[in-house]
């Protein structure tokens, strides 16, 4: 670790003449602050604070609360920079700066963007926004209408803004921006509107576009270097983002980029995943549909793709590949590897070598997963690296207008955007998961720019419905070296909020019915829970202020979970009456955005 | 079939803009006749039919599918509404067929609530009758939330009209 630190600072010093030293590299190592939405560049979401421990967490209590004044789904988490807490809201995407030094947590400034409300109907899964980024004295907000704004962190004054997309074509923004070194990165949403996904790097100081890499299209658009960029160790062929599609379909091919991004400063590589190919009807888009459903490693400065891995070629279930890429260094087979760990919507957890893109482990992290028997790990096999699809659950093979039944996981995946955390002390990944299956019926749709381009309908239900089980979530600990579940806690509802582990041996996460929970990282034993005013789909922020450790989380139920689960599950589980009444989420919680900050009593 | 629908839609837009406040309420949704697997109420507006075994007509099923691809994100699953958009299973008790069609085609705005115009969205505009029929069935409790378990066969007339409207081979 120290060695890594040293070599990184040398590298930074060497560049100091050309660009300012990477301030975030230093800031993210200060556990008192939470300077980026993912906690750090590596997406570990781990805090080195340890005032709150497995021994005393049972005494935790709310210290203060703040209403955002906005309904609907509150994803993401506040940032803490110095003595200021920065908070975002879903559409209309207001931003608050709260003074942590002030005993009343006075509002220092508020930013209220003016956005055309016609963006709301083109957002697929609620009007969520996953938070803010910080860098160079600026707070960055990616508004729903795709405007990226840079605000003065001290005053809230608008410094620059740039339009990243066009909502009239179904392009919207839900993801947090990410600042890596001297650039701010933003993605695009709209996979249900035939939007061709891209990631774009903007200059931190000016907002000038530096590069944009598309998920599909000619190599000039994807920034793939044929013969050089690799996929599972083999050089990628020319224009693979076109040749794996029929005709011009790549132009409306999806592969949007609305997840969390990570960055390895030593390798200078940015990692992220691309989403589903459009439409959800696989019959309408023959081919592997590259590079939807793909893990990308791109050079930070040029955007050139170093390696790729397509997890779900020719998707038939809407298993977006956008979930976070966690950069943890682990011993695998007695060898120290720079790994990337990714819990995909498709129900497989992948461990790769993040230097080369070599696939090391791919295992199901929910035993319910049934659409594929396994990922082919035989390097000499023709289907190496591909999932071996079970015909019965193939919506492609069953065809249009056929209701393919009991596919696990459901479209919202064994895990969706809710980020996991890595605790190096135990070597465990703590993962919030969904335990939901579906019936999926694809049908023909026609494309019109700016209009829904969905092409399937689905019904979701608890994965264990056939066994009389009613829970739709699990919170698990995962060993990514071997691909095994270490412990698993049942949750009544899908766990749609992101987890954070700490050096106190405690891991925090929120639940859909509204609990903030603390568990023992090692054993999973529940040590504390508190019911917040609304369901939690936000992530946990841990920070220190005035010498005290705080745990902050947004409640405000919604998101896809809110739309899809609140009402959708009651009917599908009616047959369970004898076993136990499955009650819908609406019986437990209601809308409303509130930040709750917890601390140990004085 | 579909061309006469287009005429009705144009009329709907005019009616909606001109006299929505005084528009005639929708009639009793009870089906009194059927043509090629499509059911109509006493006023001649499209409506649902649910058999004694719970089997729904094809148009109701088709409306269910299209609703959950085109509408449910704002209007909630099963026509139940959300903070952004009204519960359509209630709206269809107030809006008559022509008004409903007019709003789907022409859109409307009420403060921060925006209903997009679906005139160019064939996935909705080719299925206005289906959507209307499905929502009517929900409005009276004739069907429950979720996917209808049983459905009538897809009528030939539907398949032909769909292919024409969607512009498929």
Q: What is the average pLDDT score of chain A?
A: 93
Q: How many CB pairs under 8 A join A and B?
A: 90
Do the Cβ atoms of A452 and B123 come within 8 Å? yes
Q: What percent of chain A has pLDDT over 90?
A: 88
Q: Phi-psi bin for A398: left (phi > 0), alpha (psi -120 to 50), beta? A: alpha
**Residues of chain B in Cβ contact (below 8 Å) with chain A:** 64-65, 68-70, 72-74, 76-78, 80, 82-84, 109, 111-116, 118, 120-124, 144-147, 154, 166-168
* Active-site residue, selected from the candidate residues A40, A221, A239, A318: A318
Three-state DSSP at A462 gives strand
Nearest residue to A130 (alpha-carbon basis) of A94, A85, A176: A176
CA-based nearest residue in chain B for residue A115? B112
Instruction: Indicate if the pLDDT at residue A303 is higher than 70.
Output: yes
Residue A444 forms contact with B (CB below 8 Å) = yes
Residue-wise pLDDT for A130-158, tens only, equals 999 999 999 999 999 999 999 999 999 99
Specify the pLDDT at position A190.
97
Instruction: Indicate if the pLDDT at residue A217 is higher than 60.
Output: yes
Separation in Å, CA of B164 to nearest CA in chain A: 12
Compute the distance between CA of residue A570 and CA of residue A585 in angstroms, rounded to an integer.
9
Residue-wise pLDDT for A324-363, tens only, equals 999 999 999 899 999 999 999 999 999 999 999 999 999 9
Between A118, A125, A453, which is nearest B73 by CB? A125
Residue A357 forms contact with B (CB below 8 Å) = no
Best interface-test mutation with A: which of B88, B116, B125, B165 has the largest number of A CBs within 10 A?
Answer: B116
Compute the distance between CA of residue A217 and CA of residue A249 in angstroms, rounded to an integer.
10
Task: Tell me the CB-side half-sphere exposure of residue A441, using CA atoms within 13 A.
Answer: 15
- In the predicted model, residues of chain B with pLDDT beneath 70 are 1-22, 168-169
| ipTM, 2 dp | 0.88
Do the Cβ atoms of A443 and B65 come within 8 Å? yes
Q: Is residue A318 annotated as part of the catalytic site, yes or no?
A: yes
Compute the distance between CA of residue A426 and CA of residue A257 in angstroms, rounded to an integer.
31
Do the Cβ atoms of B72 and A563 come within 8 Å? yes
Do the Cβ atoms of B83 and A72 come within 8 Å? yes
Separation in Å, CA of B71 to nearest CA in chain A: 9
pLDDT band at A559 (very low <50, low <70, confident <90, very high): confident
Residues 6+ apart with CB under 8 A from B90: B79, B81, B139
Spatial contact of A480 and A362, defined as CB atoms under 8 Å apart: no
A461-490: burial string, b at 16+ Cβ within 10 Å, e else: bbbbbeeebbbbbbbbbbbbbebebbbbbe
Residue-wise pLDDT for A50-81, tens only, equals 999 999 999 999 999 999 999 889 999 999 99
Instruction: Indicate if the pLDDT at residue A3 is higher than 50.
Output: no
Q: Taking residues A182-193, what's their average pLDDT?
A: 97
Instruction: Indicate if the pLDDT at residue A9 is higher than 80.
Output: no
Specify the pLDDT at position B74.
87
Most distant pair of Cα atoms in chain B: their distance: 44
pLDDT band at A7 (very low <50, low <70, confident <90, very high): very low
Measure CA B76 to chain center: 15
Q: Phi-psi bin for A120: left (phi > 0), alpha (psi -120 to 50), beta? A: alpha
Nearest residue to A78 (alpha-carbon basis) of A131, A154, A139, A30: A131
Residue A441 forms contact with B (CB below 8 Å) = yes
Residue-wise pLDDT for A389-406, tens only, equals 999 999 999 999 999 999
Q: Which residue(s) pair with A133 in the sheet?
A: A140
Pick the range with the lowest mean pLDDT from A256-270, A432-446, A504-518, A560-574: A560-574
Compute the distance between CA of residue A524 and CA of residue A14 in angstroms, rounded to an integer.
44
Compute the distance between CA of residue A429 and CA of residue A341 in angstroms, rounded to an integer.
9
Do the Cβ atoms of A446 and B116 come within 8 Å? no
pLDDT band at A20 (very low <50, low <70, confident <90, very high): low
Residues 6+ apart with CB under 8 A from B135: B63, B67, B79, B88, B89, B91, B92
Compute the distance between CA of residue A386 and CA of residue A389 in angstroms, rounded to an integer.
9
Residue A452 forms contact with B (CB below 8 Å) = yes
Residue A265 forms contact with B (CB below 8 Å) = no
Between B115, B118, B147, which is nearest A459 by CB? B147
Do the Cβ atoms of B65 and A452 come within 8 Å? no
Q: Taking residues A206-211, what's their average pLDDT?
A: 98
Between B69, B76, B113, which is nearest A454 by CB? B69
Instruction: Indicate if the pLDDT at residue A383 is higher than 80.
Output: yes
Specify the pLDDT at position A563.
63
Specify the pLDDT at position A583.
53
Specify the pLDDT at position B76.
84
- Please give the order of strands across the beta sheet that includes A359-364: A326-332, A335-343, A348-353, A359-364
Residue A446 forms contact with B (CB below 8 Å) = yes
Between A120, A455, A567, which is nearest B77 by CB? A567
Specify the pLDDT at position B121.
95
End-to-end Cα spacing for chain B: 19
Between B78, B84, B168, which is nearest A567 by CB? B78
Secondary structure (H, E, C), B105-151: HHCEEECCEEECCCCCCHHHHCCHHHHHHHHHHHHCCCCCCCCCCCE
Q: Phi-psi bin for A18: left (phi > 0), alpha (psi -120 to 50), beta? A: alpha
Residues of chain A contacting B72 with CB distance shorter than 8 Å: 563
Asked whether the whole model's pTM tops 0.80, one would answer yes
Best interface-test mutation with A: which of B73, B88, B112 has the largest number of A CBs within 10 A?
Answer: B73
Separation in Å, CA of A300 to nearest CA in chain B: 36
Separation in Å, CA of B94 to nearest CA in chain A: 23
Separation in Å, CA of B40 to nearest CA in chain A: 25
Nearest residue to A142 (alpha-carbon basis) of A155, A129, A160, A159: A129
Between B78, B109, B123, which is nearest A446 by CB? B123
Q: What percent of chain A has pLDDT over 70?
A: 93
Output the CA angle A5-A6-A7, nearest 5 degrees: 95
CA-based nearest residue in chain A for residue B76? A563
Residue A456 forms contact with B (CB below 8 Å) = yes
At A454, give phi and psi (nearest 5°): -95, -65
């Amino acid at each position: 670790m120290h060695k890594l630190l040293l070599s990184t600072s040398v590298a930074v010093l060497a560049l100091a003449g050309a660009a300012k030293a990477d301030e975030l590299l230093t800031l993210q190592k200060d556990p008192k602050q939470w300077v980026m939405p993912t906690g750090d560049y590596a997406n570990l979401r781990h805090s080195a604070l340890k005032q709150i421990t497995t021994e005393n967490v049972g005494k935790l209590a709310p210290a203060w609360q703040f209403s955002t004044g906005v309904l609907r789904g509150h994803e993401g988490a506040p940032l803490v920079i110095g003595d200021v807490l920065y908070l975002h809201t879903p559409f209309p995407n207001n931003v608050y700066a709260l003074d942590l030094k002030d005993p009343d947590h006075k509002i220092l400034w508020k930013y209220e963007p003016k956005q055309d409300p016609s963006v709301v109907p083109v957002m697929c899964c609620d009007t969520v926004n996953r938070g803010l980024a910080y860098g160079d004295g600026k707070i960055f907000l990616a508004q729903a209408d795709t405007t990226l704004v840079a605000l003065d962190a001290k005053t809230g004054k608008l410094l620059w803004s740039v339009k990243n997309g066009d909502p009239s074509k179904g392009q919207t923004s839900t993801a947090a921006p990410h600042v890596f070194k001297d650039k701010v990165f933003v993605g695009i949403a709209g996979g249900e509107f035939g939007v061709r996904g891209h990631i774009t790097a903007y200059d931190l100081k000016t907002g000038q576009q530096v590069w944009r890499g598309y998920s599909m299209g000619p190599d000039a658009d994807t920034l793939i270097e044929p013969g050089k960029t690799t996929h599972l160790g083999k050089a990628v062929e020319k224009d693979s983002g076109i040749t794996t599609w029929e005709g011009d379909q790549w132009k409306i091919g999806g592969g949007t980029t609305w997840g969390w991004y990570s960055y390895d400063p030593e390798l200078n590589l940015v990692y992220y995943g691309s989403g589903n190919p459009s439409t959800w009807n696989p019959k309408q888009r023959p081919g592997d549909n590259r590079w939807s459903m793909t893990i990308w490693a791109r050079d930070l400065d040029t955007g050139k793709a170093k390696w790729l891995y397509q997890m779900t070629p020719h998707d038939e279930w809407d298993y977006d590949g956008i979930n976070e890429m966690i950069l943890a260094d682990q011993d695998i087979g007695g060898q120290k590897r720079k790994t990337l760990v990714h819990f995909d919507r498709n129900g497989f957890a992948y461990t790769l070598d993040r230097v080369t893109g070599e696939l090391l482990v791919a295992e199901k992290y929910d035993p319910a997963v049934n659409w594929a028997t396994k990922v082919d790990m035989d390097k000499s096999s023709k289907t190496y690296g591909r999932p071996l699809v079970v015909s019965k659950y193939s919506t492609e093979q069953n065809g249009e207008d056929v209701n393919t039944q009991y596919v696990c996981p459901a479209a919202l995946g064994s895990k969706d955007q809710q980020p996991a955390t890595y605790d190096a002390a135990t070597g465990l990944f703590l993962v919030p998961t969904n335990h939901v299956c579906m019936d999926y019926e694809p049908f023909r749709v026609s494309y019109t720019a700016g209009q829904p381009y969905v092409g399937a309908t689905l019904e979701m239900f608890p994965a264990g419905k056939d066994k009389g089980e009613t829970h739709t979530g699990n919170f698990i600990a995962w060993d990514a070296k071997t691909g095994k579940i270490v412990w698993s806690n049942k949750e009544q509802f899908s766990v749609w909020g992101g987890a954070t582990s700490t050096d106190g041996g405690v891991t925090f996460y929120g639940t859909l019915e509204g609990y903030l929970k603390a568990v023992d990282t090692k054993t999973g034993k529940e040590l504390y829970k508190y019911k917040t005013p609304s369901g939690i789909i936000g992530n946990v922020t841990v920070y220190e202020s005035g010498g005290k450790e705080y745990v902050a989380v947004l409640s405000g139920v919604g998101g896809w979970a809110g739309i899809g689960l609140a009402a959708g599950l009651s009917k599908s589980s009616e047959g369970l009456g004898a076993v136990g009444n499955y009650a819908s989420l609406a019986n437990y919680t209601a809308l409303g955005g509130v930040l709750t900050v917890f601390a140990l009593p004085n | 079939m579909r061309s006469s629908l287009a005429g009705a839609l144009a009329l709907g837009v005019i009616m909606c803009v001109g006299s929505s406040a005084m528009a005639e309420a929708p009639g009793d949704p009870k089906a009194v006749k059927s043509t090629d697997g499509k059911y109509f109420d006493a006023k001649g507006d499209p409506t649902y039919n649910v058999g004694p075994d719970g089997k729904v007509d094809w148009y109701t099923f088709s409306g269910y599918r299209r609703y959950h691809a085109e509408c449910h994100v704002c209007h909630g699953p099963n026509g139940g509404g959300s903070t952004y958009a009204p519960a359509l299973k209630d709206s269809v008790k107030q809006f008559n067929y022509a008004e409903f069609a007019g709003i789907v085609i022409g859109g409307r705005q009420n403060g921060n609530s925006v209903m997009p115009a679906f005139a160019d969205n064939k996935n909705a505009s080719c299925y206005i009758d289906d959507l209307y029929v499905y929502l009517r069935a929900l409005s009276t409790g004739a069907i429950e939330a979720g996917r209808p378990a049983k459905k009538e066969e897809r009528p030939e007339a539907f398949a032909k009209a769909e292919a024409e409207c969607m512009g498929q081979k």
